[in-house]
Amino acid sequence: MLKDAAGIERMASIVEEFKCEPLVVVVSAIGKTTNALEKLLAMAFEKDDNLATEYFKLKSLHVNLVQSLPISTSGKDELITEVEELFRDLWDALNKGYSDRYFAYDQVVSFGERISSRIVSSRLSEKKLIAKEVDASDIIATNDNYTDASVDWKKTKTNVDKEILPLLHSNKIVITQGFLGGDSKGNVTTLGREGSDFTAAIIGSILKADEIVIWKDVPGLMNADPKVFEEAVKLDNISYHEAIELAYYGASVIHPKTIQPLQKNKLALQIRSFYKPAAAPSYISDDATLDDKIPKIILKENQTLLSISSRNMDFIMENSLHHIFKLFTKHKIHINLMQNSAISFSVCFNQNKKKQEFLIKDLSLFYYVKYNTGLTLLTLRHYDDKMLKKYISRKKIFLEQKSRTTMQIIY
């Protein structure tokens, strides 16, 4: 949503509406900045000659955004200087020659949220809102599992109580970055892609917030992606359990880890429309009465289907599976679907050329490996015969799984 000056202004208006309440604002990167930073990092590792060109494109996008904001000349000049300093730090990070790609990812990609929070904080201050920016890497304590760090809840609670509570008690609006954390050595970590809502859930649950609201560019939580399925409808309420299931199957609105702290603390999550803030939100709560009333459709494209089989016709048993899962963990590949037979094990995961290359190299030392790329994973939850006929007929199906509530196919 924070993709242009209009988005920043809309965000500022929403914050202003709630300014009389204790408020923590968790921000994401501007527009497609995370994708752009991932591209820059890949270019840095490949020593691509076009790195500087792409870097300056991203820098210009942010500077031009600041230029277009309704900020005083002095405030604008100061903010541009701060943004340019952050981009100088980004350039240094891109050229440090990191050997660990996962560590490098967190140090580089985290700049998206850091730059965004600086812009948002400045804009709110310009509107005479008393806002204080807090570095999420000083608040969200994690381990050093870079790109998918786990939260140290005890340390994080201590940090929230020490750094955020006093600001709220002094009537300041707290601005912090989503997606980011920090390990015990002071290095920035990330919580997994689309992790800003998880950050909100962490801080909200520790503060025992009255409300946790996620603002999205859709009317609320939808039963399907409205950009793909014209018949998509808004879900008024689903349970924590249903939300976890949908997140597991790949629904992009909610980060998979978000629901657990909310359920533990019995906090309802609102999903509201960024463009129609007065519209009724969707709720995620402990109410399961509507879970099976509306079917849900989840589509994940660019999938790899990989089949692993024994070299000597041995059964794929517990020891083999343990070894295979260790290799997936090593290469930080999340499995979206799995199926095994006596002598083979098939998995589906998000296509990633580099990770896939390293995984197959390791697996091939012990197993026969075959794979297909560019496939689509379709999940139908609370399906009926009409849905199966509509979405599955006439497709070349590579793999199929079906239970009483959920149907998944790879095609």
For residue 220, report the phi and psi dihedrals to the nearest 5 degrees: 165, -155
Domain termination site, one of 181, 210, 239:
210
The structure's pTM equals: 0.89
Domain termination site, one of 188, 210, 232:
210
Look at residue 210 and give its three-state secondary structure: coil
Domain termination site, one of 179, 210, 241:
210
Same domain, 43 and 184: yes
The number of helices, as runs of H, and strands, as runs of E, in the chain is 14, 15
pLDDT score for 256: 76
Contact by Cβ (8 Å): 242, 251:
no
pLDDT score for 11: 93
Domain assignment present for 13: yes
For 369, residues 6+ apart whose C-beta sits below 8 A from its C-beta are 306, 307, 308, 360, 363
pLDDT score for 24: 97
Domain assignment present for 222: no
Dist CA 317 CA 324 (whole Å): 11
Per-position pLDDT tens, the chain of length 411: 788 889 999 999 999 998 889 999 999 999 999 999 999 999 999 999 999 999 999 999 999 999 999 998 988 999 999 999 999 999 999 999 999 999 999 999 999 999 999 999 999 999 999 999 999 999 999 999 999 999 999 999 999 999 999 999 999 999 999 999 999 999 999 998 878 899 999 999 999 999 999 998 888 899 999 889 988 999 999 999 999 999 888 887 687 788 889 999 899 999 999 888 889 999 999 999 999 999 999 999 999 999 999 887 676 778 888 999 999 999 999 999 999 887 789 999 999 998 999 999 999 999 999 999 999 999 999 999 888 889 988 889 999 999 999 999 999
Q: Enter the tokens of residue 313.
A: 């016709």
Domain assignment present for 357: yes
Same domain, 58 and 198: yes
Residue 12, domain extent: 5-210
pLDDT score for 209: 94
pLDDT score for 344: 86
Helix boundaries (H) for 296-370: 318-330, 353-363
Domain assignment present for 240: no
Q: What is the CATH number of the domain that holds 355?
A: 3.30.2130.10
Dist CA 136 CA 37 (whole Å): 19
pLDDT score for 369: 96
pLDDT score for 169: 95
Domain assignment present for 333: yes
Domain assignment present for 216: no
Same domain, 194 and 340: no
Same domain, 39 and 134: yes
Domain assignment present for 258: no
> How many domains in the chain?
2
Dist CA 215 CA 278 (whole Å): 12
Q: What is the CATH number of the domain that holds 145?
A: 3.40.1160.10
Same domain, 204 and 335: no
Domain assignment present for 318: yes
Same domain, 185 and 325: no
